[in-house]
Amino acid sequence: MRELEEIGPVSLLIVEDDSFNQTLATAVFEDYENIEVFNAENGELAFAILQKKTIDIILLDLMMPNMNGFEMLKKLKKNSLYHEIPVIIVTSEENERKSTYKLGASDFISKPYNPTELRLRVLNNLKIKNFSTLLNKIKINTEEDIPLSDLADINQNIQKALRIADSTQKKLLEKLGNLAHKRAEEINTSQRLGEYAALLATLYGLNKREVDNIFYAMSIYDIGLLLLSKNTYSNTNGKLFMSHPELGLELLNDLEETPLIEMAKIVTLSHHEHWDGTGYPKGLDGEEIPLFARIASIADYFDELTSPRCYDEEYISPEDALSVIQRERGKKLDPEILDIFIEHFSHFAAIKNKYAYSS
Query: Rounded to an integer, what distance in angstroms lies between the CA atom of residue 54 and that of residue 76?
Result: 14
Give the DSSP letter of residue 314: -
Which residue(s) pair with 38 in the sheet? Answer: 13
Which residue(s) pair with 11 in the sheet? Answer: 36
Print burial letters for 109-148: b (CB count within 10 Å at least 16), e (below 16): beeebeeeebbebbbbbbbbbbbeebbebbeebbeeebee
Which domains are seen in the chain, by residue range?
Answer: 2-124 (3.40.50.2300), 177-354 (1.10.3210.10)
Please choose, from the candidates 79, 106, 173, 100, the residue with its C-alpha nearest in 3D space to the C-alpha of residue 134. 173
Other C-beta atoms lying within 10 Å of the C-beta of residue 53: 12
From first to last of its 359 residues, the chain has per-residue pLDDT tens of: 788 998 999 999 999 999 999 999 999 999 999 999 999 999 999 999 999 999 999 999 999 988 999 999 999 999 999 999 999 999 989 999 999 999 999 999 998 899 999 999 999 999 999 999 998 888 877 766 666 566 778 888 999 999 998 888 888 998 888 888 864 444 688 999 999 999 999 999 999 999 999 999 999 999 998 888 777 776 777 888 899 999 999 999 988 889 999 999 999 999 999 999 999 999 999 999 999 999 999 999 999 999 877 777 788 999 999 999 999 999 999 999 999 999 999 999 999 999 876 54
Please choose, from the candidates 349, 30, 31, 43, the residue with its C-alpha nearest in 3D space to the C-alpha of residue 199. 349
Can you give the three-state secondary structure of 8-41, one letter per residue? Answer: CCEEEEEECCCHHHHHHHHHCCCCCCCEEEEEEC
Query: Rounded to an integer, what distance in angstroms lies between the CA atom of residue 261 and that of residue 252?
Result: 7
Please choose, from the candidates 278, 268, 340, 276, the residue with its C-alpha nearest in 3D space to the C-alpha of residue 300. 268
CB proximity list for 34: less than 8 A, separation 6 or greater: 4, 5, 7, 8, 9, 10
Residue type, 146: I
Containing 277, the helix (H) or strand (E) segment is: none
Give the residue ranges of DSSP H helices in the chain.
2-6, 19-27, 43-52, 69-78, 94-103, 115-142, 151-167, 172-182, 189-204, 208-220, 244-253, 259-270, 291-306, 318-326, 335-343, 345-354
